[in-house]
Structure 1
Amino acid sequence: MLAQAVFKRIRSQFQASSFLNDVIMEHEKHGLATLQQQLIDLKLKSEKDEAYLHLMEWYEYPLRSIPRGFQPVKLVELIMPRSRFEQLPMGFTNLKTLKLLDLSDSRNLILTPDFTGFPNLEKLILQGCTRLEKVDPSVGALERLILLNLRDCKCLRSFPHEINLKSLEILILSGCSRLKNFPEIGQNMIYLSKLYLDGTAIEELPSSIEHLTNLALLNLRDCKSLLSFPRVLFGLASLKSLILSGCRCQPTKSGHPLGLSPILSPIDVRLNFVQLISFSVLYYLILPNTYLRILTCVALILWTHFSCVARQHESKPINLLLPRSFSGLSSVVSLDLSDCNLLDGAFPDDLSCLSSLQSLNLSRNGFICLPNSISQLSKLKFLCLDNCTKLKSLQNLPISTQLVMARECTSLENYSGQVVVWTSGEAGFTFINCLSLADDEECKVGEVFLLDSQVRPLWQRYMEEKIHQSQGLQSILPQTEIPKWFSHQKYGSSVLIRIPSDLYENSSWKGIVLCAIFVVHKDLISSISPSQDPYFHKFKLRLDMDGGLVDCPQVFNIPKDRFHAGSFGLWLYLSHERFRDNLDERNCISPSITTHSPDVEIKACGARLLYDTDMAEFVQNLSENNFRISEDLLHQGHENSWNVI
């Protein structure tokens, strides 16, 4: 876009045949940095472009400032990931019409701007700004802010003492590992539905969190400083998904016996019994005074004892303390308590209060038996017990359970190393996977699960329920062409969907299904620049409705180690809940999928509006693609699971 604009601006100064030569001469004469600065100045100082500029999207902007006097007063979206800004330039500080500000991964950014200059801002994305230490208190003036994303701002220590953003729906503080205090919640924050605090140093949640009456998802994964289950959550009637994985805190120094915190030497001296006796005898012989001999030996023994006790305390994290009752969490559908060091007796005797619970993750815990009260979970469908190495039996499973994952449960009796499918009560079937992770990575479970014609209908029913329950899913399959089932297809990275006039009122409409074919070129992998992500292919999804962009771009990270070369299909399902309110009188939707990975080429894109009546056909079409490639997957090891987005 920039190159095209620059060319149009200055092409009259050069002959068409010599334009490239003139650019090369300028480069050789003044240097690339000077030429780059001149081109940027020439582009941004264009009065015509500035007056009508609504969208500015510039990845890896190379300068620390913008040309003086450049003020795009009508700017609606400012998207400049990985820029070199230390703070937002003055030309961008008073934008009354701005709705989206994205400075993600700008690792030089130290200060946030005064947000009073952005009264209409709806989305603020500062994800990955690793030097950012605090957020300006003026963020509280953003009354129209819907999304605030500060993920992986690892130096962030200071957040406004209180937030009362009445329009905020999503707050992301994931990975802000130095953030210890979560702000007080104002009474106006009734629309916040998703709160991500995973990986923070937060010790407790404020009692004012009860004002979040619409909160549906709370992620507290790996909050190592949380000592107990946050009881303030019991009053959240709308909470659907609660994630407490990895919340098992390290003991404080005061937790050592007698309140002592022994000082260990830098070389971590470790004495066994023989060494202790030898040192004691040696000190007894060389010291002249009997009283001094005895005192020294006693001190040596005590120092060794407390050193061993300290090491034992340091190696055994405290388990997350669960409440005696979950009586205030009847709305929770999904609960993740994995890796919380839960032992036998840690669970309440009464779990029937979790009357809506359908998914329970208890992986990487230390209990030997499932609690008897787990049978009270009358709606439980999915139970994950991976890496519960002490678990010996699967007794007391609720009759509603459909899928049990118990991989690497090495002490498990009867089922260890097997994949079992059996009928049970109202669920119709229970699928139990007790393979080792090594076998599962080789897709042996996929071989049983996908190639068994008796299991196939069960998998289709499971996928239908998963689509009904989520707002978005994604999957990657080895693939070279788009299935004919997709009614709208086009070569390239975008496709056009005509909208029926009654779509908005159609209650059976579920959303949109997309399939994009992309190729990873093996011969281009070595040409990746240092600024590119070495681990993931990054894809961006945008929805264009008759020229109006909907929502901020949805980014997908695809692991390079699994999809390093070949042709693949990116399958996406988007619920209408993500964009239904933006339809109005629109005539068409144009999804586009783009990537900045130089070794990836998007070949084609397909789409289809998904209705309830299409659900079975869609899942059947998906399963056919899974079954068709299942034998290849057994050898290639590609990921073929569907992930929530």
Structure 2
Amino acid sequence: MHKLRLLDLYSYSYTRGVYKLHLPPGFEFLPEALKYLRWHFYPSTSLPSRFSSENLVELHMRNSRLEQLWNKGVQINLESLKLIDLSHSEHLADVSPLIESPNLKSIALQGCTSLVRLPSSFQNLAKLTSLNLFGCSNLKILPEMPSNLKVLLLDKTAIEELPSSIWSLEKLYYLTLSRCEELKSLPSSTCRLNSLPNLHGCGSLESLPVELPSGLKGLELSDCESLGSLRVELPSGLEYLDLRNCKSLGSLPVELPSGLKGLYLSGCMSLGSLPVELPSGLKGLYLSGCMSLGSLSVELPSGLKGLSALYLSGCESLGSLPIELPSGLDYLDLRNCKSLESLPVELPSGLEYLHLRNCKSLGSLPVELPSGLQSLKLRNCKSLGSLPKLPWLLALFDAEGCTSLETVSSSMRTAPTQGRDQLRDEDLSFLNCVKLDQSARSNIMADAQLRVMRMQLHHVSSIKPVRLILSVREMKFQSG
């Protein structure tokens, strides 16, 4: 056993809080030649005092009962140690022997909830590249960090501030800070984090430093409820900006990075306006729940050809839309925009989904709807008095609760030949449209009959149902 180099006790010996493996009294010895030791659920509070660790390269003791690595006063040699994983050792409070490991590259202390601090000379671990402190919920103080660090996980810790050295780690490419509830700000020192592509902030941040990492591609600050503004110059190469549920955020920078592709602002309840000009390459704009947003830019760039979806549901103060919407838009969500009174005269030609549920102030729709529209939801648009002709490819139409709806334009025309490959179930609901006149009901019935004829014309092998619901006299029509 003296020449044993690998000892692997990866086991299932821990069940429901009971350690099944028991060490003999006076256990003080492990083979001196050990290079690799994996002993999950290690049952003692420290390593054997007579264990000569000078050859040890990797030490894995997840879920152990360790309180400290060695008893104080024990002479140790950890010059060969390169990796140590003590994750979920909930009683571990002292890791000071780690500073005796000059060749250490990776430290994993995830879930070590009794750990309050790291050794002050931690930055002397010159070869350390990865440090995992995720879930060390009582860790309040973080020392200065080694200059070669590449990965740093600080999620769910109790740290109150980051040491300035973190902002100077030129090799750091992964940094996580989510749910660090005591962290209010980031370092204000000169930022040299040139390798960091993404920064994940925490919900307790109240402000940002003047300078952010220059190489950032993604900045995630969701749920920063106390963040009032972005008084910072955003990195020029930023592609994704996530500010969801920043409830105190009142404004955005006048100019956003030109290469921005995704802008996530859902739940920003205090946001009153957007910049006059948005980046032309924007592909996703998410504004759901921006309850204070009164208007969009006077004219969204028609060059936003990449913007296919616009989410504005719950923008209760939004009274109008720009005269021109992006030409590539195929999805427009305006649910619960209770102050919206009208839509642009002309909607994008490629629009397929238009959701207007609970737009209680909406008085009318455009005279002509896009020919490719497949879904139109108007439920509880209580001010809507009339409907234009419905596109032939429309598969889902819901006007339930449109209590002011009186007239429906006739769609009496020859069923088109295009769109035959898209035939499917069709639902048209006029439930509780109590003011529909006789002409409107006749037009609706004629429209439904034409839709059935279209399916027959295209020789659909398995006839798809057309469901039509009228509620004034509980009239129902179904084919299928």
TM-score (norm 1): 0.43
Q: Equivalent residue for 1:347?
A: 252
Q: Does 1:196 align with 2:176?
A: yes
Q: Equivalent residue for 1:320?
A: 228
* Maintained 8 Å contact 1:115/1:138: no
Q: Equivalent residue for 1:571?
A: none
Given the superposition, is the C-alpha separation of residues 71 and 380 from structure 1 closer, same or farther in structure 2, using an over 3 Å criterion? farther
Q: Provide the C-alpha distance between the structure 2 equivalents of 1:205 and 1:142, rounded to a whole number of angstroms.
A: 24
Partner of residue 139 from structure 1, selected from 88, 105, 122: 122
Q: Aligned partner of 1:230: which letter?
A: P
Partner of residue 117 from structure 1, selected from 75, 100, 117: 100
Q: Aligned partner of 1:36: which letter?
A: H
Q: Equivalent residue for 1:37?
A: 23
Q: Provide the C-alpha distance between the structure 1 equivalents of 2:221 and 2:134, rounded to a whole number of angstroms.
A: 18
Q: Provide the C-alpha distance between the structure 2 equivalents of 1:435 and 1:40, rounded to a whole number of angstroms.
A: 71
Larger relative contact order (C-alpha < 8 A, sep ≥ 6)?
1
Task: Deviation per CA, 1:236-264: give whole Å up to 9, x if none.
Answer: 32122222222233xxxxxxxxxxxxxxx
What does 1:349-388 correspond to in 2, within 5 Å?
349-351=254-256, 354-367=257-270, 371-373=274-276, 375-388=277-290
* Maintained 8 Å contact 2:30/2:48: no
Task: Deviation per CA, 1:588-644: give whole Å up to 9, x if none.
Answer: xxxxxxxxxxxxxxxxxxxxxxxxxxxxxxxxxxxxxxxxxxxxxxxxxxxxxxxxx
Given the superposition, is the C-alpha separation of residues 158 and 229 from structure 1 closer, same or farther in structure 2, using an over 3 Å criterion? closer
Structure 2: gaps of 5 or more residues: 1-5, 10-17, 337-352, 354-371, 374-480
Q: Aligned partner of 1:109: which letter?
A: L
Q: Provide the C-alpha distance between the structure 1 equivalents of 2:292 and 2:313, rounded to a whole number of angstroms.
A: 10
What does 1:240-639 correspond to in 2, within 5 Å?
240-249=217-226, 319-323=227-231, 327-342=233-248, 346-351=251-256, 354-367=257-270, 371-373=274-276, 375-389=277-291, 399-402=304-307, 404=309, 406=311, 409=314, 411=316, 425=327, 430-432=330-332
SS in structure 1 at match of 2:211: helix
Q: Provide the C-alpha distance between the structure 2 equivalents of 1:409 and 1:186, rounded to a whole number of angstroms.
A: 40
Given the superposition, is the C-alpha separation of residues 145 and 335 from structure 1 closer, same or farther in structure 2, using an over 3 Å criterion? same
Q: CA deviation at 1:203?
A: 3.1
Task: Deviation per CA, 1:518-545: give whole Å up to 9, x if none.
Answer: xxxxxxxxxxxxxxxxxxxxxxxxxxxx
SS in structure 2 at match of 1:192: coil
Q: CA deviation at 1:105?
A: 1.5
Q: Aligned partner of 1:79: which letter?
A: H
Partner of residue 183 from structure 1, selected from 152, 163, 170: 163
* Maintained 8 Å contact 2:300/2:326: no
Q: CA deviation at 1:155?
A: 1.2
Q: Higher helix proportion, which one?
A: 1
* Maintained 8 Å contact 2:41/2:65: yes
* Maintained 8 Å contact 1:61/1:82: yes
Task: Deviation per CA, 1:292-347: give whole Å up to 9, x if none.
Answer: xxxxxxxxxxxxxxxxxxxxxxxxxxx52222xx5452121221112212566x12
Q: Does 1:159 align with 2:145?
A: no
Q: CA deviation at 1:188?
A: 6.4
Q: Provide the C-alpha distance between the structure 2 equivalents of 1:62 and 1:70, rounded to a whole number of angstroms.
A: 16
Given the superposition, is the C-alpha separation of residues 95 and 342 from structure 1 closer, same or farther in structure 2, using an over 3 Å criterion? same
SS in structure 1 at match of 2:23: helix
SS in structure 2 at match of 1:360: strand
Q: Aligned partner of 2:135: which letter?
A: D
Partner of residue 60 from structure 1, selected from 13, 27, 41: 41
SS in structure 1 at match of 2:196: coil
Q: CA deviation at 1:62?
A: 2.2
Q: Aligned partner of 1:37: which letter?
A: L
Q: Provide the C-alpha distance between the structure 2 equivalents of 1:369 and 1:360, rounded to a whole number of angstroms.
A: 16
Q: Provide the C-alpha distance between the structure 1 equivalents of 2:203 and 2:76, rounded to a whole number of angstroms.
A: 36
Given the superposition, is the C-alpha separation of residues 168 and 115 from structure 1 closer, same or farther in structure 2, using an over 3 Å criterion? same
Q: CA deviation at 1:114?
A: 3.1
Q: Provide the C-alpha distance between the structure 2 equivalents of 1:6 and 1:111, rounded to a whole number of angstroms.
A: 24
Q: Aligned partner of 2:117: which letter?
A: K
Q: Provide the C-alpha distance between the structure 2 equivalents of 1:40 and 1:358, rounded to a whole number of angstroms.
A: 63
Q: Aligned partner of 1:240: which letter?
A: K
Q: Aligned partner of 2:82: which letter?
A: K
Q: Aligned partner of 1:340: which letter?
A: C
Q: Equivalent residue for 1:419?
A: none
Q: Provide the C-alpha distance between the structure 1 equivalents of 2:130 and 2:202, rounded to a whole number of angstroms.
A: 20
Q: CA deviation at 1:130?
A: 1.3
Q: Provide the C-alpha distance between the structure 2 equivalents of 1:403 and 1:75, rounded to a whole number of angstroms.
A: 56
Q: Provide the C-alpha distance between the structure 1 equivalents of 2:19 and 2:210, rounded to a whole number of angstroms.
A: 57
Q: Provide the C-alpha distance between the structure 1 equivalents of 2:272 and 2:237, rounded to a whole number of angstroms.
A: 26
* Maintained 8 Å contact 1:198/1:222: yes
| Larger-Rg structure | 2
Q: Provide the C-alpha distance between the structure 1 equivalents of 2:56 and 2:116, rounded to a whole number of angstroms.
A: 27
What does 1:16-31 correspond to in 2, within 5 Å?
none
Task: Deviation per CA, 1:89-113: give whole Å up to 9, x if none.
Answer: 3689532222221111211111222
Q: CA deviation at 1:136?
A: 0.5
Task: Deviation per CA, 1:256-301: give whole Å up to 9, x if none.
Answer: xxxxxxxxxxxxxxxxxxxxxxxxxxxxxxxxxxxxxxxxxxxxxx
Q: Provide the C-alpha distance between the structure 2 equivalents of 1:38 and 1:130, rounded to a whole number of angstroms.
A: 28
Q: Aligned partner of 1:409: which letter?
A: G
* Maintained 8 Å contact 1:229/1:320: no
Given the superposition, is the C-alpha separation of residues 392 and 93 from structure 1 closer, same or farther in structure 2, using an over 3 Å criterion? farther
Given the superposition, is the C-alpha separation of residues 38 and 105 from structure 1 closer, same or farther in structure 2, using an over 3 Å criterion? same
* Maintained 8 Å contact 1:390/1:409: no
Q: Provide the C-alpha distance between the structure 2 equivalents of 1:33 and 1:170, rounded to a whole number of angstroms.
A: 33
Q: Equivalent residue for 2:444?
A: none
Structure 1: gaps of 5 or more residues: 8-31, 250-318, 416-422, 437-447, 449-453, 456-645
Q: Equivalent residue for 2:470?
A: none
Q: Provide the C-alpha distance between the structure 1 equivalents of 2:311 and 2:75, rounded to a whole number of angstroms.
A: 53
Q: Does 1:205 align with 2:191?
A: no
Q: Provide the C-alpha distance between the structure 2 equivalents of 1:341 and 1:213, rounded to a whole number of angstroms.
A: 30
* Maintained 8 Å contact 1:247/1:339: yes
Q: Alignment RMSD, CA only?
A: 3.9
Q: Provide the C-alpha distance between the structure 2 equivalents of 1:407 and 1:79, rounded to a whole number of angstroms.
A: 50
Q: Aligned partner of 1:207: which letter?
A: S
Q: CA deviation at 1:145?
A: 0.9
What does 1:88-103 correspond to in 2, within 5 Å?
88-89=69-70, 94-103=77-86
Given the superposition, is the C-alpha separation of residues 355 and 368 from structure 1 closer, same or farther in structure 2, using an over 3 Å criterion? closer
Q: Provide the C-alpha distance between the structure 2 equivalents of 1:139 and 1:376, rounded to a whole number of angstroms.
A: 45
Task: Deviation per CA, 1:30-76: give whole Å up to 9, x if none.
Answer: xx9797214995xx9563xx51x333223222221233422343332
* Maintained 8 Å contact 1:381/1:401: yes
Q: Does 1:229 align with 2:208?
A: yes
Q: Equivalent residue for 2:396?
A: none
Q: Provide the C-alpha distance between the structure 2 equivalents of 1:404 and 1:343, rounded to a whole number of angstroms.
A: 23
Q: Provide the C-alpha distance between the structure 1 equivalents of 2:174 and 2:8, rounded to a whole number of angstroms.
A: 42
* Maintained 8 Å contact 1:243/1:336: yes
Task: Deviation per CA, 1:187-234: give whole Å up to 9, x if none.
Answer: 96211122223333233333335132333222222124x2x332132x
SS in structure 2 at match of 1:114: helix
SS in structure 1 at match of 2:191: helix
Given the superposition, is the C-alpha separation of residues 198 and 93 from structure 1 closer, same or farther in structure 2, using an over 3 Å criterion? farther
* Maintained 8 Å contact 1:82/1:104: yes
Q: Aligned partner of 1:70: which letter?
A: F
* Maintained 8 Å contact 1:387/1:408: yes
